[in-house]
Amino acid sequence: MYVIGLQEMNSGIISLLSDTAFEDPWSSFFMDVLSPLSFIKVSCVRMQGLLLLIFAKHQHLPFIQILSTKSTPTGLFGYWGNKGGVNICLKLYGYYISIINCHLPPHLANNDQRLEHFDRILEMQNFEGDIPNILDHDLIIWFGDMNFRIEEFGLHFVRESIKNQSYRELWEKDQLSIVKKHDPLLREFQEGPLLFPPTYKFDRNSSNYDTSEKKRKPAWTDRILWRLKRQPQAKLCTPSPLAPHFSLSLRNYVSHMMYYISDHKPVTGTFDLEMKPLLTAPLITLSPEGLWTMENDMVISYSLAPDFLSSPWDWIGLYKVGLRHINDYITYVWVGDNQVSVCEGLNKVYINTNNIPETKDKFLLCYYSNNLRSVVGISKPFQICPRSCFKDNILDESHPQI
């Protein structure tokens, strides 16, 4: 999976109105890069200059349920979204995960305000239905431009320390590192070692720290934190059942100094997430029935898990392999309106393939649940025979079949 968060995007009125009607340029860019690698945009949320995107390989789609997307403005007394956080809450193989991208207040003297905004964003993550409180989620990933600065040391000392890669003394005066020692909640969040240079502030289109009149002191403003759910303490002499296996380990935590388009340098964290899945089979199993051609209505067979609650608004989409997002279908069919038969738990619906352009691409079928607002079943890739396969309605035996 890829989780991507941006801050300080172009958030003018014209840009916001344009992005409401069309895909925003950053989402399109990342889809262009990741879709050829079989990654699909699963969800996104935007609040003015903040954007949060989640991509996943297509085989994971039936096991990812998007439960909620939220925006929490904290700028201008909570009425303006130039500062704040955006959140995506999802269920991954049965585990609850919250991902937050934030932009906190700037400047050295505003540390208390940053902590206040951190708490406010957390308090606003109230979910409807039976979604547990965010602090009861199995994993919280919290990242963004947190704007914490380096205290006490002067500009010259900080720059010389960076030049000599002597970061230890700077870590001790990093505001986030200091507050994590005293704040009970922040102490529960983990972070990798800051083995890379401070990522703010640079002259644009260069790797030079700020040479403007303000000469802002470098700082590690761009951070990635995570918090695993605390396991309840076992009572003395009382054996407790083994908790499902769920662990997160950091593989690397680095900055990327070769990018020049911002006055910040981007930071990435790569993690290994190991789990014992609580959901091991998709809610829907589906496949094309028989040999598919581009000349006739074709049949899709699917079966439902016993606990799956279907809706008349559920639909099945036909996609080319390499789809960018769930709305990228070639055609679709409402399962309630196009049902052919139901027999011993096996459902059949027909779909019209007449208008599909001839191509050598492979295809996928995805079942979208209206109740769960997520893909709950996906077929294996398959091919559709072009019209050239047929001569007098007889399949040319030399053509490979499905």
**What is the per-residue pLDDT across 153-212, written as a single tens digit (0 to 9) for each?**
999 999 999 999 999 999 999 999 999 999 999 999 999 999 999 999 999 999 999 999
Beta bridge mates, 228: 139
**Six token digits for residue 90:** 């999802």
Domains in the chain: boundaries:
2-275, 284-395
**Six token digits for residue 164:** 């000599």
pTM of the model: 0.89
Range of weakest confidence among 160-174, 268-282, 353-367: 353-367
Other C-beta atoms closer than 10 Å to the C-beta of 356 total 19
Q: Contacts for 37-45 with beta carbons within 8 Å, 24 or more apart?
A: 38/321, 38/322, 39/2, 40/323, 40/324, 40/325, 40/326, 41/324, 41/325, 41/326, 42/66, 42/90, 43/69, 43/88, 43/90, 44/69, 44/88, 45/69, 45/70, 45/71, 45/86, 45/87, 45/88
Position 51: which residue type? L
pLDDT tens digits, one per residue of 48-58 = 899 999 999 98
Position 97: which residue type? I
Give me the pLDDT at residue 55, please. 98
Fold observed for domain 2-275: Deoxyribonuclease I; Chain A (3.60.10)
286 in Cβ contact with 255 (< 8 Å): no
Strand 2-6 to 331-334 pairing? unpaired
Beta bridge mates, 51: 6, 46
Which secondary-structure segment (H or E) carries 192? none
Reference 65, options 131, 135, 143, 142; nearest CA is 131
Other C-beta atoms closer than 10 Å to the C-beta of 178 total 15
Range 284-395: architecture per CATH: Sandwich (2.60)
Write down the residue that tokens 């496949």 correspond to.
Answer: 287
Q: Percent of the chain at pLDDT above 70? A: 87
Q: Calculate the alpha carbon distances from 342 to 94, 164, 298, 310 in Å.
A: 29, 72, 16, 14
